Amino acid sequence: MHKFNFWLIIIGILVLIGLFYLLNPKSTAPAQSVTAAKIFDLVIKNKKLVSGPETLTVTEGDQVIINITDDENEELHLHGYDKSVDLEASKSAQLIFSANLTGRFPYELEKSKTEIGALEVQPK
């Protein structure tokens, strides 16, 4: 291989690795070790979310507490985690779990197959 090519490739790779570490926020900021409980209050009316965030963002390992009130008898189902909770009309129901799977998991009203929002679990 030509000497010029060799150095070109080496420098290119070094620049790429350098940029990777420079841009990655995790390599500059210390990881947070405190895991807090994340509480979300959701109100659903007429199969639509009227109060509370559509996207529930948490970090891997967080304790997640979701309080849900619906104006109908329904069942809330969280995909991926495969957790369900029965909803009684106008009564608050609660879903508690720890977020140990990373990714984006939609939740829906199971009976009417209506997607309401999604839980996003960011890696630590």
Q: Site residues (CB under 8 A) for another protein?
A: 1-2, 4-5, 8-9, 12, 15-16, 19-20, 23-25, 54-55, 79-82, 100-106, 108, 113, 115-118, 120-123
For the bound state, the minimum distance from the C-beta of residue 36 to another protein, rounded and expressed in Å, comes to 20
Minimal distance, residue 67 CB to another protein, in Å: 20
Cβ proximity to another protein: between 77 and 87 the closer is 77
Distance set, CA 38 to CA 30, 50, 60, 97, 111 (Å): 21, 20, 11, 10, 27
Least CB distance to another protein at residue 105 (A)? 6
Residue 24 class from Cβ within 10 Å (0-12 exposed, 13-18 middle, 19+ buried)?
Answer: exposed
